[in-house]
Structure 1
Amino acid sequence: MRGPHNIWRLIRTGATFERSGAMKLALEEMQVTPRLQLAARIMGWPFKALGIKGDANLPPITQAITALGPAYIKFGQIMSTRPDVVGAELADELRMLQDKLPPFSMREAKAQVLAELGSPVEVLFSEFSEPIAAASIAQVHRARRADTGEEVAVKILRPGIERAFRKDLDAFDFAAALIEFVAPASRRLRPSDVIAHFESVVEGELDLRLEASAALEFFANTQHDKGFAVPRPHLDRSARRVMTMGWVEGVPLGDVAALRAAGHDPMVLGERVLQLFLSHALRDGYFHGDMHQGNLKVTANGDIVAYDFGIMGQIDEYTRRVYAEILMGFIQKDYRRVAEVHFEAGYVPRDRNVVDFARALRAVGEPIFGMDAEQISMARLLAYLFEVTERFGMQTRTELLLLQRTMVVVEGVARSLNPSVNMWHVAQPVVETYIRENLGPRAALRDLTRTARVLGRFGTRMPEIVEAALLRQIEPAPEPIRPSRWRELALVAVGGALVAAGVALAGLL
């Protein structure tokens, strides 16, 4: 059964944090109230011996997260970019999760290259270094191609990573179902759909053939972007568990002191990261979905270089226009227009009041303007946004989850480089350019031309299409299958057990 196994997994999560000493530190750093801190400690202490020991040489929180597995590490990577949420000290500790994890052995790495590419490392590469970076899913070796002499980076998946990730995702899926059962109000946020979406993204990250293809597409889209570069993938040296790309020397974007020593301006780099992300999302509808400091470097000439294309985001043209209008409305403080766009796109039920929604959005947006970023508590702002969306019945849009998450990560990266960055001011020129090119008269003419082309292609079949659609509308829906009384009783019993488990787990998580 999945349920008992996952209850055990979640209990062990809290126990591992307690055993490593991370529970107390995390709660204090995130400024949880003393009463909740005490409750969490009391709930976690009896299970302390059940926790995973981990590497005692690592700091407590990093020790707990690395012991728990790759999905937890991914979460820690994201939080490392949010010092305003988790605190500066905790963010610094979590940053080592990005590319400083313990590597696996050279023997295992060479065995995977042989199995995937069909030839030993010594034949394919004239040079092949020890691991230079190790992250949650893979590690990277510096190498040189034997045939061309070109310097490359070879990425190799961790042995057994697929099974480990699926085990974590299974527990997350169970936790989402538990949350929906214990707190019915949470269903509007569709936690289970959110986890399903995250799972689909992770599946792509575990197949390096897909990553190589994504890198090639991203390279083509961005090759003319000033101040940005993507290493070209080598498809003839890539397979499901091994990927080879061009090597680019650079300073890690997370090392601010080294950036300054190399003559780079962190404030300029912070603004450029934000503008590049928005440009890729709006202009191309295809963006890097994991833009934390561990995946970004700065070359000697000042270019920002992106790595790790396992998580890429894609949004259609209509959604891009909606997103741009919402951003522009906030930038111009036109909250009525922002509210109208939400209603027009179907993000808010039509039975809600647009004026009230605009007023609520104003309460969210106004504190942002005229303030430095370090004065804004993103935790408080996100909490208030949650209250607003709950009141107006908005549902989580799973297709926008990656875009929203990446926006949070990118803003955190920019803030680590320039604490006073104002994302709205930096975003304005990018959004204005997109709106001018895609929402003006030329865009309308382009849309009409495209519509006419489609109608010309399907014009002769339009009567059949309309008739088939009308018939589907008037056909009676099938009767729903009602569960038996015994099944209903079983569901009630299981539900009661889950509620009890949920109360216990609330103190741990």
Structure 2
Amino acid sequence: MASLRAYRRFVLVVWQFFPLVWTFLRDRRRFLLFGGSRRVTEEMRLRRAKRLLDTLLTLGPTFIKLGQLLSTRPDVLPPEYVDVLSELQDRVPPAEWEGAREVLEDELGPVDEAFDDFERDPISGASLGQVYRAEYEGEPVAVKVRRPGVETLVEADLRVLRWTLPVVVQFVDEGRAFSLSNLADEFAKTIREEMNYEREARMLTEIQSNFADDPKICIPTVAEERSTERVLTMEYLPGTKITETEELDRMDVDRSAVAERLQRAYLRMIIDDGVFHADPHPGNLAVQADGSIVFYDFGMSGRVDEFVQEKIVDFYVAVADQDIDGILDALVEMGTLSPDADRATMAEVMELAIRDARGESIETYRVQQIVGKVEDTLYEFPLRLPSNLALVLRVATVVEGVCVTLDSDFDFISVATDYLTEQGYRERGVREFVDEKREQFGDAGEALVDVPPKLDDALERTNRDDLFVRVGVEDHEDVVDTLARRLVLALFTGVSGVAATLVFVLRPEALRVTLALVGVTALFAAWLYRSFRKRRGVRATPQFTRHNLQERERAGNEGERET
């Protein structure tokens, strides 16, 4: 039955997405099988993004949730799509009360007996559930109810996504294929976790206990006796939506202080506590009259292991110190940057990113130069997004957007630097640096003692003609195998060609043998030609060094002077 539903959903999904797929295929080949690629303008992308938004809304909760996740992934979608899909945070159609009532009664019994009072109209809606106001034991509460029948629908849709992903990745570059695969794994994991309200209650309670000493961070208390896997009852904490800046100004709330408080709260959750609220879009954040921040909806919460915490600290410390090499090292160790990436170009990219984050002016021509270098020298941008960092990046991106809305001059790096300094992380980095250098000096001292005798022994063996050198060749791209294969094919082609010529000249009556040898020669020649045509042939991965970049810049400057 589940498979049958999945097949029906697959047909529906294909039907809904077919117009978009057809359009994207024509972008690559104007007439599908031939013709040049089409130029896609910003207006065209905007229209397609709106069409995608309507499609996701039509397909229901799972795809609405997928769209919400995609709206925070600029590594997967162009900016126009990210902007349009962000509307899904606030545009989720409400479910009928009768369906919610059935869920409530199945979990808690009759609604009027479980609660003192219960409002039938939801105060907020989400893709997987919706929230109602109620009264329990004389106190106002918020009751989150899972949408009826959403479990079977989600499982069918996840199966459809697993079927379609291998097809989708064939039409994108390798970098986006990597991100899409991780996105699919992340999405399946998070949507199942988000449907489990018992898990949400545990995460909410843990994060609340971590901030028990901070009165400016408000997290609702769970009413455990009225909470189950499909119903979550918690303290009702009212507040003004965090992005309603005019209302905050009317309340005389210091928006800059709120932005800094929000940023510090997330730095604490990720770096110190290791458990964090992972869905900080404006609908889940509110501000009270005294500037306190209220957090809602802990369904999408995550954990950070100690290794990732350590590397995030290294990254932030390097950013605070504007240590470009340290930033790149941290990104490589976290798995977000390919070790084979051209560090010179990536260093310039990171330098611009830091200047932009600090609000410093950046010359347009320099941006164009660096973008040109990236496009000219790399087949793919070497940034990746491992699944264990996907939620962290989502949080960082969305929180920064909220903070900038509150304060257009918000300096993320300055706040992070102050926090790291106060918590002693930068001092720890200095100590680790000193210890590392001390260890290096110790190793160097040992080497000064050990190397001379070994060098003398090597020279003596050289004089006796008793020195052997063992060489190991790393060939990750199979260059040597490819060259050997081509040499063998070229040899067979030559030998069979010569044999065919000799037979034709010396034994003209043996026409069949001659034709057979010609056929074998043609086969080997075609095989050899094909090996040169394949993209995985012998070619080096394009890399730029700092010297290469300087040479190109000098050539460009000389050309400008001549004109």
Shorter chain as denominator, the TM-score bin is: 0.5 to 0.7
Structure 2 matches for 1:286-305, cutoff 5 A?
286-305=275-294
Q: Which residue of structure 2 aligns with residue 140 of structure 1?
A: 131
Contact 2:197 2:230 in 1 (8 A): yes
Q: 2:410 aligns with which of 405, 411, 421?
A: 421
Identity of aligned residues (%): 27
How far apart are the structure 2 equivalents of 1:386 and 1:219? 46
Out of 79, 84, 102, the residue aligned to residue 93 of structure 2 is 102
Q: Secondary structure at the match of 2:354?
A: helix
Query: Does 2:40 correspond to 1:36?
Result: yes
Q: Assess, with a 3 A threshold, how the Cα gap between structure 1 residues 39 and 437 changes in structure 2: closer, same or farther.
A: closer
Q: Deviations over 1:285-311 (max 9, x none)?
A: 111110111111112222111011111
Q: Which residue of 1 aligns with 2:205?
A: 216
Deviation at 1:359, TM superposition (A): 4.7
Per the alignment, residue 114 of structure 2 pairs with: 124
Question: Which residue pairs with 1:411 in the alignment?
Answer: 400
User: Using the alignment, how far apart are the partners of 1:387 and 1:437 within structure 2?
Assistant: 37
Superposed displacement of residue 126, structure 1: 1.1
Alignment of 1:71-470 (within 5 A): 71-77=62-68, 97-99=88-90, 101-117=92-108, 119-130=109-120, 131-145=122-136, 148-183=137-172, 185-186=174-175, 189=178, 191-344=180-333, 348=337, 357-371=346-360, 393=382, 395-436=384-425, 439=428
- Runs of 4 or more consecutive aligned structure 1 residues displaced over 4 Å after TM superposition: 1-8, 14-18, 37-41, 59-64, 75-83, 85-88, 93-96, 343-357, 380-395, 440-444
Secondary structure in 1 matching 2:134: strand
CA–CA separation in structure 2 for the residues paired with 1:346 and 1:61: 31
Structure 2 residue 16 is matched with structure 1 residue 12: yes
Provide, for residues 234-272 of structure 1, a one-character-per-residue CA deviation record: whole Å limited to 9, x for no partner. 111011111100111211223222222222233332232
Question: Aligned letter for 1:256?
Answer: T
8 Å contact from structure 1 (residues 81, 412) kept in 2: no
Q: 1:382 & 1:290 partners in 2: Cα distance? A: 32
Alpha-carbon displacement from aligned partner over 1:375-430 (angstroms, at most 9, x marks no partner): 9xx9x999999999976855431101110112111112222222332322232222
Partner Cα separation in structure 2 for residue 170 and residue 9 of structure 1? 12
CA contact (8 A) 2:141 2:236 kept: yes
Task: Tell me how far 1:96 sits from its aligned partner.
Answer: 6.0
Q: Greater shift after overlay, 274-283 or 430-439?
A: 430-439
Which 10-residue stretch deviates more, 98-107 or 297-306?
98-107
Structure 1 letter corresponding to 2:116: S
8 Å contact 1:69–1:168 — kept in the other structure?
Answer: no
CA drift of 1:155 comes to 0.6
Are the counterparts in 2 of residues 101 and 136 from structure 1 also a CA contact under 8 Å?
A: yes
Distance 1:324 1:262 in 2: 36
2-side partners of 1:192 and 1:82: how far apart? 13
Larger radius of gyration: 2
Structure 1's unaligned 5+ residue stretches are 19-32, 45-58, 445-509
How many residues align? The count is 406
CA offset at residue 105 of structure 1?
A: 2.7
Q: Which amino acid letter does the alignment assign opposite residue 89 of structure 2?
A: Q
Displacement, 1:111?
1.8
- Please tell me the residue identity of whatever aligns with 1:237: R
Q: Deviations over 1:29-88 (max 9, x none)?
A: xxxx993259969x98xxxxxxxxxxxxxx9886554223224423554677899x8579
Is the 1:97–1:136 Cα contact (8 Å) retained in structure 2? no
Q: 1:255 to 1:175 in 2, by over 3 A?
A: farther
Q: Runs of 5+ in structure 2 lacking a partner? A: 23-36, 434-563
Stretch of structure 1 that moved more, 104-113 or 230-239:
104-113
Q: Which amino acid aligns with 2:397?
A: V
Q: Tell me if structure 1 keeps the 8 A contact 2:317–2:426.
A: no
- State whether residues 130 and 144 of structure 2, in contact with CA within 8 Å, keep that contact through their aligned partners in structure 1: yes
Change (3 A) 1:385 1:179: farther
Cα distance in structure 1, aligned partners of 2:377 and 2:135: 54
The CA deviation at 1:338 is 1.6
Check 1:180–1:332 CA distance in 2 against 1; reply closer, same or farther (3 A cut).
same
Which residue identity is paired with 2:265?
L
User: Which amino acid is the alignment partner of residue 16 of structure 2?
Assistant: R
8 Å CA contact 1:296–1:307 kept in 2: the answer is: yes
Q: Report the secondary structure of 1:259's partner residue.
A: helix
Give per-residue Cα distances to partners, 1:90-146, cap 9 Å, x unaligned.
95x8666435633223332222111012x211111111012111121111111111x
2-side partners of 1:424 and 1:255: how far apart?
Answer: 24
Distance 2:376 2:156 in 1: 32
Task: Decide which moves more: 309-318 or 4-13.
Answer: 4-13
Q: Secondary structure at the match of 2:144?
A: strand
Please give the alpha-carbon distance, in whole angstroms, between the structure 1 residues aligned to 2:126 and 2:287: 19
Matches of 1:387 and 1:226, distance apart in 2: 52
Q: Is the 8 A contact 2:223 2:235 kept in 1?
A: yes
Distance apart, 1:368 and its partner CA: 3.4
Q: SS at 1:426's partner residue? A: helix
Inter-CA distance 364–270: structure 2 relative to 1 (3 Å threshold):
closer
- Structure 2 Cα separation of the partners of residues 175 and 116 of structure 1: 35
Q: Distance in 2 between matches of 1:283 and 1:358?
A: 28
Counterpart residue identity of residue 136, structure 1: S
Amino acid in structure 2 at the alignment position of 1:137: L
Residues 34 and 439 of structure 1, relative CA distance in 2, 3 Å threshold: same
Would the aligned equivalents of 2:115 and 2:135 in 1 still touch at CA under 8 Å? yes
Q: Retained in 1: the 8 A contact 2:328–2:343?
A: yes
Q: Which amino acid aligns with 1:433?
A: E
Check if 1:67 corresponds to 2:71. Answer: no
The one-letter amino acid of 1:212's match is A
Residue type at the aligned position of 1:225: D
Matching residue's letter, 1:9: V
Q: 1:381 to 1:259 in 2, by over 3 A?
A: farther
Shift of 1:197: 1.9
**Whole-Å Cα distance in 2 between the matches of residues 276 and 381 of structure 1?**
35
TM-score when scaled to structure 1? 0.67
Letter in 1 for 2:191: V
Secondary structure at the aligned position of 2:119 is classed as: strand
Alpha-carbon distance in 1 for matches of 2:372, 2:303: 27
